[in-house]
Amino acid sequence: MQNYALAIHGGAGTILKSTMSPEKELAYKNGLQDAIEAGESILKSGGSAFDAVETAIIKLENNPLFNAGKGAVFTNNGTHEMDASIMNGKDLMAGAIAGVQGVKNPIALARAVMEQSEHVLLTGNGAMEFAKKVNAQFENEDYFFVQLRYDQLQQAKQSNSMILDHTEDKIEHGEKKFGTVGCVALDLNGNLAAGTSTGGMTNKKFGRVGDSSIIGAGTYANNNTCAISCTGHGELFIRSVVAYDISCLMEYKNLSLKEACDIVVMDKLVKIGGEGGLIALDAKGNIVLPFNSEGMYRASKKQNEDIFIGIYK
């Protein structure tokens, strides 16, 4: 039997200890701890990696500190458009949604796309119609309103820029980060799974979709190689096909998870200005949490080991 393992992230970016209050740091750490424990309890009792991924991400979506579900950033017209995807490494089944509004847990809807439709990715109005059909839980605008996110939108509008949550000169007080959330897990049966959920970027327009709902870019899982969930500047992560690139380096070049991650995150992405990071887990339970930004909210847990929680470099 395989030992279980899992890792989560709550976004990467310019996260500096110097701009973080002890209370806030504790709140983030508690949020990460709750989520990883929720995922672990599934794995510990013999549940699937896929269930663990969904469970941990729902915890993070329900926490307003993270840019997913409650806490999702505002679009240019003051709404929240959320993207999410989930993938099963056992059979390469996947589900994803993009640009949905009012859905409490976008990751659960992505799962429903996989399990209750013949499609992989549903967007906008169609995705909303599907959400109603499968009785997804909806919340009103008040639920998604978070003052900090609203202030960020006003700042972005003033400078007429789209704020990639971390951009240093655009946002003050250390709130520069990609707050996307994700989870990768390996269960006792040796199955891998990965998922990612996000509100995208502040002041986004025109139905912009990032990497988080793109299988192969922001999310990928394959029992033969690894499970990956990304956070960072989505456009660059899509162009780099980040998650699948790591899997390919392992599959075709026989690189280790760490070697593959180093090439993609610390070299290839850096060269094109793709700021961010990812969480990665291979079929043997090795965990790598690389990022080329100042920080990344992250946590990991291996069976019989203590929980690791990290924020800064």
Q: Which residues are catalytic?
A: 180
What 8-state DSSP symbol labels residue 104?
Answer: S
Is residue 52 within 8 Å of 39, Cβ to Cβ?
yes
For residue 94, what are the β-bridge partners? 87
Helix axes 49-61, 106-116, angle to 10 degrees: 150
**Options 40, 81, 187, 211; binder of ligand ASP; rule CB under 6 A:** 211
Q: Which residues contact 307 (CB under 8 A, 6 or more apart)?
A: 33, 36, 37, 299, 300, 301
Site for ligand ASP in 258-297 (CB under 6 A): none
Give 47 or 64: the residue with its C-beta nearer to ligand ASP: 64
CA distances from 212 to 112, 238, 286, 291 (A): 17, 9, 23, 16
Site for ligand ASP in 120-179 (CB under 6 A): 165, 178-179
Tokens 């900090």 belong to residue: 148
Which region, judged by CB under 6 A, interacts with ligand ASP, from 33-41, 98-106, 231-239, 260-268? 231-239
- What are the b/e assignments for 61-87, b being 16+ CB within 10 Å? bbbbbbbbbbbbbbbbeeebbbbbbbb
Give 98 or 113: the residue with its C-beta nearer to ligand ASP: 98
Is residue 64 within 8 Å of 58, Cβ to Cβ?
no
Largest CA distance in the chain: 56
CB-neighbour burial class of residue 134 (10 A; exposed 0-12, middle 13-18, buried 19+): middle
Determine if 232 is a binding residue for ligand ASP (CB under 6 A): yes
What radius of gyration, in Å, describes the C-alpha atoms of the chain?
A: 17
Give 54 or 165: the residue with its C-beta nearer to ligand ASP: 165
- Contact map string, positions 20 to 59, toward ligand ASP, x by CB under 6 A: ----------------------------------------
Number of other CB atoms surrounding residue 116 within 10 Å: 13
Q: What angle do CA 125, 70, 61 make, to 5 degrees?
A: 95
Determine if 11 is a binding residue for ligand ASP (CB under 6 A): yes
Determine if 234 is a binding residue for ligand ASP (CB under 6 A): yes
Determine if 198 is a binding residue for ligand ASP (CB under 6 A): yes
Determine if 212 is a binding residue for ligand ASP (CB under 6 A): yes
Query: Binding residues for ligand ASP, how many (CB under 6 A)?
Result: 16
Which region, judged by CB under 6 A, interacts with ligand ASP, from 49-57, 193-201, 256-264, 294-302? 193-201
Smallest distance, Å, CB 85 to ligand ASP?
A: 11
Which region, judged by CB under 6 A, interacts with ligand ASP, from 15-23, 46-54, 134-142, 206-214? 206-214
Give 55 or 231: the residue with its C-beta nearer to ligand ASP: 231
**Options 55, 63, 67, 101; binder of ligand ASP; rule CB under 6 A:** 67
Smallest distance, Å, CB 199 to ligand ASP?
A: 8
Which region, judged by CB under 6 A, interacts with ligand ASP, from 89-97, 101-109, 198-206, 244-252? 198-206
